[in-house]
Amino acid sequence: MVIDLVVTIEEDGFGAEVPSLKGCESWAHTEDEAIINVIELTRFYVKLDADVDVTVDLARRSKKKNVYKIIFTKE
């Protein structure tokens, strides 16, 4: 499964959201924290087990937004 993750660079931190999952969003002081938080939420929203591996790849970058692909693979 591959899902888009959008990280918005704000004045006081980073907002992260999965547009395809309503309400799956997070905010943190660092981009890494925001990504980790939203991945946890995504696991919850789609009911993924702990044995599912997660890879995050940068798809594109701009001044205010970074778009990543979250790739979930089962061992």
Q: What is the per-residue pLDDT across 37-64, written as a single tens digit (0 to 9) for each? A: 999 999 999 998 878 899 999 999 999 9
The answer on pLDDT for 1 being more than 90 is no
Q: Which CATH code is given to the segment(s) 2-62?
A: 3.30.160.250
- 29-65: burial string, b at 16+ Cβ within 10 Å, e else: eebeebbbbbbebbbebeeeeeeeeeeeeeeeeeeee
According to the model, what pLDDT value does residue 75 have? 62
According to the model, what pLDDT value does residue 56 have? 94
Q: What is the pLDDT of residues 4-41, one digit of tens each?
A: 999 999 999 999 999 999 999 999 999 999 999 999 99
